[in-house]
Structure 1
Amino acid sequence: MPIPKKTIRARELRRDATPFEIQLWQMLRSHKMEGIHWRRQHPIGPYFADFACATAKLIVELDGNSHDGREAEDANRDATLLEWGWTTLRIPNRDLMRDPESVWRTIAIHLESPTNELMPKIES
């Protein structure tokens, strides 16, 4: 049976991860929370989430320079994912670089929140 195209693409994205994606992946793996399991480059519909936790229906997207000028496209994607029950937390690469523990605290607060509301961007 052939490997699905989405699986192949997800593997390519994981293989070609940015240094910031590698850093956040290591952080997510090192901070264990009961019932929380993260997936990298997880396909959801036509999209690939940088990091997704199905239990919490939370997506964490790292936004670097490639997202400059794509705010409307990102907002449309986030709105579609929200319609499907997913909340997207967008984190600028610069915030991960400046204060990784603050990034982790923001993710943890969202995971522990009783509501599933969209969290604001972390601003440094």
Structure 2
Amino acid sequence: MRNKQFHGCDFHRQKPLLDYIVDFYCAELGLVIELDGRYHDGISEDDLKRDNELARYNLTVVRFSESEVMKDMLNVLRTL
């Protein structure tokens, strides 16, 4: 699968990191993007554990809901 670029940065989809697979990863920015599906009700304990572990490697985790991506992409892009 080919990586996508956004403002000159490579984004990898379904990227293995540590013991996890993250939705999107950008090494240049140290950024992990997680998309929470419609059945995902808030952030779980497992999500927090993973986010904290990734943060120990200086990675920033940003979460968006599926609804935000589908209905408010401008705000998602502005946040990024």
Number of matched residues?
79
Sequence identity of aligned pairs in percent?
34
Does the residue aligned with 2:6 lie in a helix, a strand or coil?
coil
Gaps of 5+ in 2: none
Q: Which has the larger radius of gyration?
A: 1
Shift of 1:48: 0.6
The reply to whether residue 77 of structure 1 matches residue 47 of structure 2 is no
**Cα offsets for 1:53-87 (capped at 9, x unmatched):** 00111000000134326521111110000011111
TM-score, scaled relative to structure 2: 0.85
Q: Which runs of 4+ in 1 moved over 6 A?
A: none
What is residue 18 of structure 2 aligned with on the other side? 45
Higher RCO structure (Cα 8 Å, ≥6 apart): 2
Matches of 1:70 and 1:33, distance apart in 2: 29
What is residue 100 of structure 1 aligned with on the other side? 73
The reply to whether residue 56 of structure 1 matches residue 52 of structure 2 is no
The reply to whether residue 87 of structure 1 matches residue 74 of structure 2 is no
TM-score, scaled relative to structure 1: 0.57
**Cα offsets for 1:85-115 (capped at 9, x unmatched):** 11100001111122111111111xxxxxxxx
Does the residue aligned with 1:55 lie in a helix, a strand or coil?
coil
What's the C-alpha RMSD, in Å, of the aligned pairs?
2.1
